[in-house]
Amino acid sequence: MKSSLTALRDQARKVAGPARNIVSFLASTPLLYPLARLKRGENEPWVIGGHGGRLRVDNCAVLHEYMVNHTRQPVIWISTNDSVLAELSARGLPCLCGNTARARWTIFKAPVLIYSHGEDDLELCLLFMRGLTGFRVHLNHSMNLLKAGQYHDPGVHELRGVRRWAFEQTVPHFDALLASSDKERANFALSYPDQAHKVHLGGGAHLDGLLEARRDLPATERTLLYFPTWREERQSQQALGATVEALMDHPRLQAWLADQDYRLLVGAHINTVGLSQAERLQARVQWLPPAELQAAMLRCAGFISDYSGAIFDYLALDKPMIFFPYDLDHYLERRNFYDDYEDIAYGPVVWDVEELVELIVSGQWQDLQPYAAKRSGLRDLVFPTLEPRYAKTCYETIDRLWRESLRPGQGNPPGR
């Protein structure tokens, strides 16, 4: 257990880190930006990053992989995660540590900037450079089909004055936001009404791995994968922790796991804090690092989740799904959905740990037939094609939109 002094030191680092980055940005940018702006041109490398610099997964990771393997376009990954940087460096792929002068120099002269969550994926203070950078592309990290955000969040319409201004500064800005389907494009337009004209088809790069695996799925392991989405409030985080522990410790589930030779994998969200103490785990339960989620989805016998975008990724695999929105009413007090939850549930829905355990031990979760029609209809709505060519389309769309933006009278001028 951490001492009070160690905990205090860690908290001080959390506060000091952003402050140090802001000071560094303010000190270096007046010198770096004018020189970098002069060098910006079509032959300079693009820059890409995601998840606040912490992870290399999802749409941005797959697009990056496609670019380095199938195009001649130079591209540099920006990250604040030492493990990510070490992995890319070992492969000989260009990468830079985020929030440094060297990274800022590269970002300022890049003709195209790509991120999954917001400008701070690349640089903490990049929001201060809106209108001054190259062509900015927002990919989103997964499909945007359930949880609404930004201007479609509850209570946003009530914000006034300084609070409204502060909120608007946190909304990601972009020159293009790529959607994977007409349905997703319409959803994005609700969340970004002022930027709806910048939403284009051509997203969903991360779907390629799932669709390639759909053709030849790896051998199914005797595992159930539970991936609860992140809760933003302290009280909800504590409730999530209690729910996970109640599930892990449930005697009937433990007996079933042993009798059936199954394991329960609990996927840890990148934001998860305080839920991954190894000593709390039972013999047949293990935590799954965020970067391993998709591989586990391909191998698992069944998937359990609530509001995660991963439930739509999993839809492509035609495997058993359990919906476990134990705090739905409370969750909807703080987040809006684009559709009613029941309309997207293509498998059984359970509301508490006892119901979930009963469903698991009964084996009824394995029966796909009752939800076959719903699964097929939803898949047709959110997957324009089941061919794994989304990354290629994504790259070609970005390249086209960027080049169009350079022509007078066409596209959105970069940074606007």
For the stretch 228-248, pLDDT in tens is 988 888 899 889 989 998 998
Least confident of 31-45, 231-245, 382-396: 231-245
Neighbours of 158 (CB within 10 A): 8
Neighbours of 180 (CB within 10 A): 29
Predicted local confidence at residue 270, as pLDDT: 46
Residue with token string 């990354």: 391
Predicted local confidence at residue 209, as pLDDT: 87
Predicted local confidence at residue 410, as pLDDT: 52
**pLDDT-derived band of residue 274, with 50, 70 and 90 as boundaries?**
very low
Give dist(CA 284, CA 277) in Å, integer.
15
- Res. 15: pLDDT tops 50: no
Residue with token string 């009963």: 358
Predicted local confidence at residue 315, as pLDDT: 93
**pLDDT-derived band of residue 358, with 50, 70 and 90 as boundaries?**
very high
**pLDDT-derived band of residue 414, with 50, 70 and 90 as boundaries?**
low
Do residues 294 and 317 touch, judged by C-beta distance below 8 A? no
Predicted local confidence at residue 374, as pLDDT: 95
Q: Rounded mean pLDDT of 355-382? A: 96
Give dist(CA 267, CA 226) in Å, integer.
6
- Res. 275: pLDDT tops 70: no
- Res. 14: pLDDT tops 70: no
Average model confidence (pLDDT) across the chain: 89
Q: What is the pLDDT of residues 110-143, one digit of tens each?
A: 999 999 999 999 999 998 999 999 999 999 988 8
**pLDDT-derived band of residue 16, with 50, 70 and 90 as boundaries?**
low
Predicted local confidence at residue 334, as pLDDT: 86
* Nearest by Cα to 204 from 347, 104, 59: 59
